[in-house]
Structure formats: C-alpha cells, structure tokens
Structure 1
Amino acid sequence: MNHDEAPILSPGQDNTQVLGMDFHHPVFPLSALAILAFILYALIYPDAANSHLSAARGWSIEYFDWLFMIAGNLFVLLCLALIAMPVGRIRLGGSQARPEYSTTSWFAMLFAAGMGIGLMFWSVAEPVAYYTDWYGTPLNAEAHTPAGASAAIGATMFHWGLHPWAIYGVVGLSLAFFAYNRGLPLTLRSAFTPILGERVRGWFGHFIDIVAVLATIFGLATSLGFGASQAAGGLNYLFDIPNTIGTQLAIIVAVTAVALFSVWRGIDGGVKLFSNINMVIALALLTFVVVTGGVLLFVNNLWSTALAYVSHVVPLSNWVSRDDTTWYHGWTVFYWAWWISWSPFVGMFIARVSRGRTVREFLVAVLLVPTLVTLVWMSAFGGTALNQSAAGVGALADGISDVSLAMFQMFEHLPLTTLTSSLAILLVLIFFITSSDSGSLVIDNITAGGKTDTPRGQRVFWAVLEGVIAGILLYGGGSTALSALQAGAVATGLPFTLVLLGMAFCLIKGLREELREPAGARLA
C-alpha cells in the first residue's frame, strides 16, 4: 500500500451520532442486541443455556484440540523470531514516535490487563491441584511424588508463561502496527487489510468486531461475577462476613463504581494510576512471601520451577497421542481457548498504550518479561504452597477444597496472616478494577469504529453494563448463569483461533513491506 494514499479505513468511518453517543454502525447496535438476547436467555433458561454452551465449548475442545495447540506453538515461535529478525527495529508509529508512558507504568498496565487476577488464585491452587490429583495430573505424573511436584509446577508455568503472552503479543502487535504505521482504525478488522482490502468494511469486518465485543464483555462479566464470589469467600473465611448474594452484589457495585471513576478519568488518570498501585502492592506481597517463607527456599524453588518449565514445555506442547487426555482437555486446551477468547481485549489494550515502542521492545515486554515475572511469582506462591502440601502442613495437604480459599489457606502458615490476606483481597479487587476499566475502553474503541476520543458517557455505558450483566446473572441465575456466560466466551476461542492465524499472516506481510520502504522510514 502506498502510504501517501488515504487509508481504506479511517477512525470513526461509518459512525452514527445518537443521543450524544458516537458509535459504529452496525457493530454497536448488533453487539448490544446480541448481549441483551444472551442475558435474557441465560436468565430465563439458565440450565439450558449452561448445557448448550458447555456442549459447544466441549465440542470445540474435544475435536479441535490440535488446532489450539498448533496455533499456540506457532505464536510463540513467531514472537521469538520477530524479536531476533531485522523487523524488530521497526518503530510503532514511525521513526519519530516516542512512548507515551514510562516503561514502569507501561509494564504495570500490560500485566494488570493481561492476567493479574488469575495469578492471584491459581498460582497457589493450580500446582497443588496437580500435585494432589484433584482433576488429573499433567503427563500422568504420579501424585504426591517429587516427579509429580515437578510436573505440577512445570505445567502451571506452561499455562501462564510464554504461550498466553504470545497470543496477546500477536494480536497487540498486529493492531498497533496497522493502526500506527498504516493509519488505520484501532479495531481488529484493520489487521486484515493486506488480504481483504476494501472488503474489511463489509460484513467480514463487522463479524470480527462484533464477536470481539461479545467475547470481551462476556469474559469480563464472568470474571467479575466469579471474582465477587471468590472475594466474598475470602472475606467470610477471614472476617466471618456472610458469603451471601448481598455481599457478592455489594462487591460488584463497589468494583464497578471505582471502575467508573477510572474510566471517566481515562488511561492517564485512571488505568495507569490503579495499575501502578497494583504493582506496588503485588511487589510488597511477593517480597513478604519470599522473606517469611525463606529466601534460600525461594531460590531453590526458583531454580526448580525454571528447570521444570524448560523440561516439560515440549512434551506439554505436544498434541499427538496424549495419554493424559482428561487433564489435557480439561486444563491446557481450555486455557488456550480462554486466552484466545480474551486476546481481542488484552491485545487491543496493549496496542493502545504501546505507540512509540519498537517491535523488539514491544515483544520483549509482552512476551519475555511477563514470563520471567510469572516465574518469580509462581516460585514464591506456588512453590510455598507445594512445600506446605508435600510436608502435610495445613489444609493444602489434603488438596484443593475451594480454589478461592487456597491462597488464604497458604497465608495461614505464614506470619501476619490477617494483614497479608487483607492485602491479597485488596489486590484482587484492584485487579478487577483495572480489568474492568481497560476492558470498557477497549469495547468502546471497537464499537466506535476505532476512535479513541469518544464521549465519556459512552465509556461509562460499557463499564456500567459489565457490572449490570454480572450482577443480574449472579442474582437471577447464580453460578449456573455465570458458567453459561463463561462457556459462551470460551466457545468463541475456536473461530478466533482462525482469526488470529490470519492476523499473524497479515502481520508478517505488513512488517516485510515496512522493512522494504526507502530509507527505513519507520525504523528506530
């Protein structure tokens, strides 16, 4: 494409202004109608919705496990290759572009949007679940053995390390490149202009953006609903606050209210602020666990976790003739579908805050640094939990009874239990806030045709809607309705896998064209 020509798409093209809203037609109205229809379905027929959508999720995982695994492996190899290749020098936004955010704030926002919430609960619960054979063991490792412990922590790192971040990296880099180096709107359809041209303005582009909106808002509402239940369980465990629907709804209202404040203030005054607070609290909690659990023990856990990850990553990446099919489908393939269904949200948010970074800098920060941080976090939290379980200390010795309580059960056997557990609950709630406000900005971005300067009320609308969906489903249908919502979100992982593979192809094509431009116009 000649960069002197007007782009095929431009931000806000085909938009409609109604009641102070500036939205893309037909993405906004069709997304809103689909959301309304699903809520009514899940409320009126929660059991049927859960059954049908769980069947769809199970079918995609059962018959397309090979596609999820191959795609995940390809994304990791692609990201590593792009870091090493000459295209790594390309700067997002052109040679004169400079980052809008400091490296510290940038990374804090990436991590908070990516998977901060999940790590809080699963860094403790997941390795103990594998070690005690709660729902199968990775690679059929024998439970309650040193080999089982190695497989447990290695598989947990596998699920939270390079592969999910590579998925986010491909989406984020594709969106950032085509938005900042090709002048296209910051929406998913823009990434397909190299192969579709003008046709991205048609129904193929509408479909991609609508499914991205649905996957994002369903995923966020599910996390908010289940997260409220988990936080309420923690409050009950620590302070005997009744874990009732009223408590859970109060948590949703509180989180949504703070998210509204953040969304109203935008990225600089909201998302960045809470992400930085998150990082400080997380670092304090991590330091406490390392020191009180024993520094030498942590160093040993760090080494053993890294070794377990390296030694298990290849066999766990295999999709042919697996003997641990139940565990493999129930954990790994489910995770891959979940990460892919979240990739439009996380990838777009990463793209939005990454203008001015080089391709190499972007991928190192999105792929390698989070993996190293996860390694440290897993070694501290997961390693401590495994040590307690193996030594027969506390509730974790018997495995996992409730995922939401596992972290607090671990803290029981460290000093200052009430203080650390309270900090953990606060951290979880702030992670929910950062996910909610960044998700609202992303959904608003897509439904506004790629515009980033939409009316504040429009951003508030989506933030409120997330909380309303979570609250209504939790109150009207309970965990069954939320499970249906989660199953629906995961089921979108299958079509989005194909979308992401197409994105990867278009990204490679676009980067190669950029590198051939005269005088390296957009190189760092």
Structure 2
Amino acid sequence: MKQVTKVFWISLVVSLLFVLWGVISPAHLGETMDVWKQFFLVNFGWYYQLIATFFILFALFLVFGPYGKIKLGKDEDKPEFNRATWFAMLFSAGMGIGLLFFGVSEPISHFTTPPYGEGGTANAAKLAMRYTYLHWGFHAWAIYATIALGLAYYKFRKGLPGLMSAALYPLIGERAKGPIGTVIDIIAVFATIFGVAASLGLGAAQINGGLSYTFGIPNNFTSQLIIVAVVTILFILSAGTGVQRGIKYLSNANLILAFLLLVTLLIVGPSVFLLDLFVTTLGSYLQNLPSMGLRLAPFNNEDASWVQNWTVFYWAWWIAWAPFVGTFIARVSKGRTVREFVIAVLVIPTLVCAFWFAVFGGTGIHLEFNENVKVSEQALETALFFVYQHLPFTTVLIILTLFLISTFFITSADSATFVLGMQTTNGSLNPPIVVKVVWGLVLSASAVVLMVSGGLDAMQTAIIVSAFPLSFVLLLMTFAMLKSFKGEVTGKKKKTVL
C-alpha cells in the first residue's frame, strides 16, 4: 500500500460513508437522491445538451485539423496491441452490459412512448431507432475519445502521471500536484464508482431476469445480491492477472460471443426487415443528428420530461463513465496517432452500436408492430428474454446471453478496478492487487446500495450528480490539449525553419 496517495484514502472513506448511509437508511438515501436528480435534470438539461455537442465538434476538429499526426507516445513508439484486440478492449469496457440491457428495451420503450408524436406507429418505430442511435452513438464516443486522448497524450508523450489532474497541467501548472489536483482526481474517482456501480446493478438485474425465465429462479433482490457476490469474486480474481492477460482475454472473448449472438439473432429474426431498418434509420440519424442532439422541448412538459429522463441522463452517464473508459482506452492506445485514435474510437463503435440496436430493438419492434406480441409490457431487464421466447433456438440464445452478460460484467468491473487503482496510486500502470481488490469490493457494495435505495432511479441520480462537476474538468481538458498541441506544431515549424 506504499504506492497509494491521499486520493485513495479520502475517496475510500467517503465511499464507505455512502455505503453505510445506504445500509442504515436506504429509504432516506433514495429520497435524497431523487431530489437531486430532479434538480439537475430540470435546471441543467440545456447544459448537458450543449456540452455533449461540444465534444463532437472537438473530435471532428481533431480529425480534420492540423494536429492529427501527433503520436500518443514518443515518435518511435509502436502500438502495444493489434487493432482487432485494441478495438475489442475499448468496446467491451465502453458499452458492455448496457447493450444487452437496453438492446430491446430502449427501442421498444421509445416505440410505444416516443419523444414526440403518437406511439405504436411506423413513424414512431423510426424515431425509436433514431433516438437510440443518438444515445449510444457519436456523442457518447466523442466524450470517451476526448478524455482518453488527453490522458494518453500526457501519459505517453509528456511522461506525466495518467491522472485527470495531470491532463490539466498546461492550464494550472504545479497546482495540479496540490489540493486542486487532489480534488479533481477525487471527482474522477467518484464519477467512476457511481457510473460503473450503476452498470453492475443493471447487469445483476438482467442476469437474474434471464435465470428466472430459464430456470425459474426468483427474480428478487436476494437473487441479485448472490449474483453480485459471485461475480465480484470472479472479477477480483481476473483483476489480479492485469491488462495483458485477464482483461485482454476476456475482451476478445466478449467480442466473439457478442458477434455470435448478433449474427444468430439476425439469422433467426426477420433478417430483411432488420437490414432495411438499419439502413433507413442510420441515414435518418445522420441527417437529424444536430437537431436531436440539441432538442429540449421547452413548450411541452411531457416531451421535456422524456428528453430529461432519456437523452440528458445518457449524456450524464457517458460523462460519469468517461474517467473509467477514458483511462482504460488511454492505457491500451499507446503509439496511435491523434487522427487514427479519434476516428477509431468515434466511428467504429458508433456503427457497431447502431447495428446492434437495429437487430435487437428491431426484432422487438417487429414482434409488436407486425405480430401483436406485447414486448413493451415487459420489464426492462426481461424484455430481451421475452423476445427470445418468440424465436427459434430460445434456450441457446438465453444461455449465450447470460454468459455474455456475465463476461461483460466481469470485464467492466475488472477494468474499473484497474482504473480506480491507477487514479489512486499516482497513475501507476500496475497498481497493487490489494488496491484493486479494495475498489472491487467498494464497487460491488455501491451497486448493492443503489439497488436497495431505489433501483434504476437511484442509479440514474448517482450518475447525474457525479457527472456535473466532472463535466467542467473535461471541458478544461480540451483547452489544455489544444494548448499543448499548438505548442508542438509551432515548435516543429520553428525547427524546420532553423
């Protein structure tokens, strides 16, 4: 434990106090969090919309601007992982459980309760897919790309610790090593804890839903608690093997399993309908991206509530996940150029996510729209398994999905313990196993507390509240990067003249 910093101890104490609050008075914690949730959603929806759009514009500038050839490392550094493995690792950590949890449930929810207009129509189906792509597409990955780029650049090219505070060094100088830097890193730690804990809670709920459908296991909190405990043991064991073994192998396994599941569903489902839906709605998404990304509906309270509970929540979730996913992506991206990095992180996952939702969500919509199967009446965590019951090879699909959720669960938690270890050991690329174990237990305990105190609503609140202060740090990171990039390009030009 000699490597740990005061960020570790302060974050650990506050995290334990939060867990204790949830154990002693879960109802009070749930009520308090609901008040905070409404405050941020109602008063700062405009801010989240603007900042999410800003990150897309920033990413586009990096792709087409003058800084694309700058390398994330020394000029002679080569990538540590091949592109296939690199993509698998960033994708598994970046979305994972959410794709399975919301794959059917989000599009079908938007289909019956669209952002505007009448539900259950052909137009509502197109809107459902378009807004699902919005929530899981360019905005999300632009946020990830921004923070990952900053962390990788300052870590591998400038030799600074892989910390959020270090990425602000060009703006705040030595203060990054003082109290201000400590506060910044603590904010990042808590955003990571709440963002990942929410995902673990979703994963436990869906695993329980699948087991209940398949084997009749009770779908309740006790079952979910046992699932969290079992998976906690598994990801702590995996965390001890490090990035080169545990996370790498699990990420590759996730990608293979996800591909098999996707292809299988495409084949046994309404294939032509799904492909037509994907092409049509992808074009509509690209065409309407600016207006959807800035829509708030100030003249209609019902529509405004929809935007707040879906779109604004997602922007907060991706911001909260950014230190976790960004740190991990940065760790595995040494040797890439700025342009290669941003294009890969921004474009490829967006297209894969869009196709995923077109297949899973499109299947659910097809069943409800064309065959009058009431998918929309199912709970979020069981909608996917309900769809499987109306397709061939039901048992195979359910077992494959349960296994994939479990490996996504382990990979996300494994990656998060590594990232939290880095953030609390001054950016160490190999944090002590005991530190990762401590954070693994904190993550699981936080997930349980959120499940007890309010379920999905409590998880949403934790994400929204923790993302707000972090968003300002992310904004400052973009200006710090621009300052550093400009200095590099200017310096090279001077050397060329000389």
Same fold (TM over 0.5): yes
Matches of 1:35 and 1:439, distance apart in 2? 15
Contact 2:417 2:440 in 1 (8 A): yes
1:486, distance to aligned residue in structure 2 (A): 4.6
1:394, distance to aligned residue in structure 2 (A): 2.4
Instruction: Give how far 1:82 is off.
Output: 0.7
Q: How does 1:103-122 map to 2 (within 5 A)?
A: 103-122=83-102
1:384, CA displacement in angstroms? 1.4
Q: CA deviation at 1:299?
A: 2.1
In structure 2, do the counterparts of structure 1 residues 319 and 38 end up closer, same or farther at CA, with 3 Å as the change threshold? same
Q: Which amino acid aligns with 1:85?
A: G
Give the alignment partner of residue 51 of structure 2, picking from 58, 67, 71.
Answer: 71
Matched, 1:369 2:327: no
Matched, 1:444 2:421: yes
Q: 1:468 to 1:66 in 2, by over 3 A?
A: closer
Structure 2 counterpart of 1:182: 158
Cα contact 2:197–2:443 (8 A) shared by 1: yes
* Correspondent of 2:330 among 326, 338, 351: 351
Alignment of 1:163-174 (within 5 A): 163-174=139-150
Shift of 1:320: 5.7
SS in 2 for 1:355: coil
Tell me the residue number matched to 1:8.
none
Q: What residue number does 2:488 align with?
A: 514
> What is the letter of the counterpart of residue 101 of structure 2?
F
Residue identity matched to 2:134: F
Q: Kindly indicate whether residue 305 of structure 2 is the aligned counterpart of residue 326 of structure 1.
A: yes
| One-letter code aligned to 2:387 | M
Post-superposition offset of 1:393:
3.7
Amino acid at match of 1:41: W
Q: Distance in 1 between matches of 2:399 and 2:446?
A: 27
Assess if the C-alpha contact under 8 Å between 1:175 and 1:191 holds in 2.
yes
RMSD across aligned C-alpha pairs, in angstroms?
A: 1.9
Q: Which amino acid aligns with 1:77?
A: L
Partner residue in 1 for 2:395: 418
Q: 2:37 aligned to 57, 67, 74, which one? A: 57
Q: In the alignment, which residue of structure 2 is the partner of 1:22?
A: 3
User: Contact conserved, 2:16 with 2:442, CA < 8 A, in 1?
Assistant: no
Q: C-alpha separation between the residues in 2 aligned to 1:375 and 1:263?
A: 30
Normalization by structure 2: what TM-score?
A: 0.95
CA contact (8 A) 1:42 1:484 kept: no
- Between the aligned partners of 1:379 and 1:131, the Cα distance in structure 2 is 13
1:429 aligns with 2:409: no
2:365 aligns with 386
- Aligned AA (1:59): F
Q: Matched residue of 1:404: which SS?
A: coil
Q: Confirm or deny: 8 A CA contact 2:187 2:469 kept in the other structure.
A: no
SS in 1 for 2:4: strand
Can you give the 5+ residue segments of structure 2 that lack an aligned partner in the other structure?
none
| Amino acid of the structure 2 residue aligned with 1:495 | P
Matched, 1:470 2:451: no
Q: How does 1:134-283 map to 2 (within 5 A)?
A: 137-138=114-115, 140-283=116-259
Deviates more, 1:381-390 or 1:244-253: 244-253
Aligned partners of 1:393 and 1:38: how far apart in 2?
A: 45
Unmatched segments (≥5 aa) in structure 1 = 1-19
Counterparts of 2:63 and 2:92 in 1: how far apart (Å)? 23
For residues 35-70 of structure 1, give each alpha carbon's deviation from its aligned partner in whole angstroms, at most 9, with x where no partner exists.
111111122221221122221222112111111111
Contact 1:69 1:317 in 2 (8 A): yes
Tell me the number of residue pairs that the alignment of Structure 1 and Structure 2 aligns. Answer: 492
Q: Distance in 1 between matches of 2:89 and 2:493?
A: 34
Q: Deviations over 1:212-234 (max 9, x none)?
A: 11121222223223421221121
Equivalent residue for 1:335? 314
CA distance in 2 between counterparts of 1:87 and 1:293 reads 45
Task: Measure, in 2, the Cα distance between the counterparts of 1:408 and 1:481.
Answer: 20
TM-score by length of 1: 0.90
Q: 1:327-382: CA deviations, max 9, x gaps?
A: 11111111111111111111111111111111111111111000111121112111
How far apart in 2 are the matches of 1:403 and 1:481?
12
